[in-house]
């Protein structure tokens, strides 16, 4: 991973806007974290599902684009295991399998107490395009 | 739907933070919209998947909580049909089936040109709790 | 659709084994049906989820392969709306969007009373290979 | 797990019809296997997705019903990692989280060479009903 790959990930304005931080990024693996603030809560004072999803999706994007080939999500499935009570959420994305055009990722979301908050499965499509 | 039900939805701070607006809300149905701004874009200048997901999840929450019974998402599946080129995204949530404890929703996301951008299927769990 | 495309679908031995019948098949659309027999039931006398899934998956395969290009499923999401009490299940697969390599399908499963039993979303990958 | 719990699982006629065998069953965990035969193949000579799904769904049902409380699937998401070339498929279902009414399971499907073929995430609903 060189500066160009990092740049595309740092250029994710929605992730920045939400306060998501990239912790680690290598080909097929990434970790991201987010401090849970009041702005991430829904009407019943739980972390909004979309905030958890976005954190996971960002970790996927970092892992899938680290090699320099642009990869976009085709679909994603999120399962919420428990409501998080912590102050931080951490998402870890791992490539499970990949072919020339398709890559499947599992993203696990934990809080700082290692409670398993959610799992997101994402299938990505590798475009014929290098990051530049 | 009375003021209390509206309040819980208006109290969704993550949706407000993102600029999501509630257009319509009744039992089993809701519509929400969002102007697409630079802050919603990812590193390759597409709308971040999490922004689309959050809009859909908010429409689901409005539709599912309109009756006054607190309903939380158990899981959700999003399929991205095409990259949106428009300035506005609109999500329409409809209850497909419901029993005493479980409700299934389909949420369709369009842009202002009626391009079909994404579909989100969400299964919710009805808690033994009224909104107050 | 010519004889070659029909042959690949008729050659689905698992569908035949289960008693699934192709009703209609054209590019991007197919309908299949199955008489519900005792062999399709699970331990609590409901139609086994896998039987419903297989019917939907077969309808997807017929619709997606009708053009003559081999398309395989990447992933699928099934939501069960209600337990079917009928004698017949009918699955209708429709292409929602498609690019050169990827196609997204929605498959709706009904019984003979038009009860909406399940929805299956399937994403397929188009191989560089013609049916022959 | 006593004889009654085993009976409900052994009574799954669709699994028997397909040649699925229960290997292990305890509360929150089960393993099932299936010899891959010609009857499980689709029109392009791959194992039909529905056959893989059914094996996984059966392992889920065994794990989720082992405690004696009837649990039914609400929805399921399957991701196909690679086409299996082996003679046997093995599904292992594990409970990831559970509350009074809801249980989330991950089911991993392997072949005899430990190739990771598919993952299935299933959310189940616990009925107010004991197996008898």
CB A95 within 8 A of CB A106: no
Q: Looking at domain A3-130, does it have CATH number 3.60.20.10?
A: no
CB atoms near residue B65 (< 10 Å): 27
Contact A50 B54 (CB under 8 A): yes
Does residue C95 carry a pLDDT above 80?
Answer: yes
Q: Is pLDDT at B2 greater than 60 in this prediction?
A: no
pLDDT for D104 beyond 90: yes
pLDDT of residue D132: 60
Contacting residues of C for B119, CB less than 8 Å apart: 96, 106, 121
> Is some CB atom of chain D closer than 8 A to the CB atom of B96?
no
Among C81, C82, C94, C97, pick the best mutation site for testing chain B contact (most B Cβ within 10 A).
Answer: C97
Instruction: Indicate the pairing of strand A102-111 with strand B29-35.
Output: unpaired
Q: What is the structure's pLDDT at D37?
A: 96
- Enumerate the residues of chain C whose CB falls inside 8 A of the CB of residue B123: 79
Query: What is the C-alpha end-to-end distance of chain B, expressed in Å?
Result: 13
B124 or A8, which is more confident: B124
- Contact between B25 and B63 (Cβ < 8 Å): yes
Cβ-Cβ pairs closer than 8 A, A with D, add up to 31
Q: What is the pLDDT of residues B36-94, one digit of tens each?
A: 999 999 988 999 999 999 999 999 999 999 988 899 999 999 999 999 888 999 999 99
Tell me which chains share at least 3 CB pairs under 8 Å with chain B. A, C, D
Confidence (pLDDT) at B68: 87
Q: pLDDT above 90 covers what percent of chain B?
A: 81
- Mean pLDDT confidence for C47-75: 95
Residue D28 has pLDDT above 90, yes or no: yes
Which chain A residue's Cα is nearest to B8? A43
Reported confidence tier of residue D93, pLDDT bands at 50, 70, 90: very high
pLDDT of D65 over the 90 cut: yes
Predicted local distance difference test score (pLDDT) of residue B131 = 66
Average pLDDT of the residues in C44-48: 92
| CA dist list (Å): A25 to A39, A58, A98, C76 | 26, 11, 17, 28
Instruction: Report pLDDT for C132.
Output: 60
Report domain extents, chain B: 3-130
pLDDT tens profile D29-61: 999 999 999 999 998 899 999 999 999 999 999
pLDDT tens sequence across A72-124: 999 999 999 999 888 999 999 999 999 999 999 999 999 999 999 999 999 99
Q: How much is the pLDDT for A2? A: 56
Tokens of C132: 């022959």
Cα–Cα distance between D14 and C30 in angstroms, integer?
Answer: 25
* Whole-number Å distance between alpha carbons of D73 and A81: 16
Mean pLDDT of chain C, nearest integer: 93
Judged by average pLDDT, the poorest of A96-110, B101-115, C6-20, D29-43 is C6-20
Rounded Cα distance, D44 and B84, in Å: 35
- Please write the tens of the pLDDT for every residue from A24-49: 999 999 999 999 999 999 988 999 99
Q: Residue D16 and residue B25: Cα distance in Å, rounded?
A: 47
Q: Among C77, C81, C96, whose Cβ lies nearest the Cβ of B97?
A: C81
Minimum distance, in Å, between the CA of residue D83 and any CA atom of chain A: 11
H/E stretch holding B18 reads helix B13-18
Average pLDDT value for residue range C85-104: 96
What pLDDT shows up at residue D85? 86
Q: Is C101 on the interface with A (CB under 8 A)?
A: yes
pLDDT reading at C2 higher than 60? no
What pLDDT was estimated at residue D2?
A: 56
Residue C130 has pLDDT above 80, yes or no: no
The reported pLDDT for the residue numbered D33 is 98
Q: Can you give the pLDDT at residue B61?
A: 95
Distance from the B115 Cα atom to the nearest Cα atom in chain C, whole angstroms? 10
Residue A102 is nearest to which of C74, C77, C121, comparing CB atoms?
C74
Identify which of A75, A101, A121 has the shortest CB distance to residue C101: A101
Q: Does A48 touch chain D (CB under 8 A)?
A: no
Q: How far apart are the C-alpha atoms of C96 and C114, rounded to whole Å?
A: 22
| Selection from A112, A94, A103, A89 nearest residue A41 by Cα | A89
- CB count in 10 Å sphere of residue D45: 11
Asked if C14 reaches chain D (Cβ–Cβ under 8 Å), the answer is: yes
Whether residue A104 lies within 8 A of chain D, CB to CB, comes out as yes
Which pLDDT score is estimated for A10? Answer: 83
Shortest CA distance to C49 belongs to which of D76, D97, D69? D76
What mean pLDDT comes out for the span B4-33? 91
Ramachandran region, residue D28 (left: φ > 0; alpha: ψ -120 to 50; beta: rest): left
Taking all residues of chain B, what is their mean pLDDT, rounded to a whole number?
Answer: 93
pLDDT of residue C68: 87
pLDDT value of residue C107: 98
């Amino acid at each position: 991973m060189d500066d160009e790959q990092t740049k595309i990930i740092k250029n994710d304005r929605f992730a920045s806007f939400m306060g998501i931080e990239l912790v680690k990024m290598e080909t097929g693996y990434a970790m991201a974290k987010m401090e849970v603030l009041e702005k991430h809560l829904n009407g019943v004072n739980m972390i909004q599902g979309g905030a958890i999803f976005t954190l996971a999706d960002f970790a996927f994007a970092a892992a899938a684009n680290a090699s320099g080939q642009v990869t976009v999500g085709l679909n994603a499935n999120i399962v919420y295991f428990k409501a998080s009570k912590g102050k931080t959420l951490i998402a870890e994305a791992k490539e499970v399998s990949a072919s020339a055009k398709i890559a499947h990722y599992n993203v696990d979301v934990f809080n700082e107490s290692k409670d398993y908050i959610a799992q997101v499965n994402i299938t990505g499509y590798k475009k014929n395009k290098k990051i530049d």
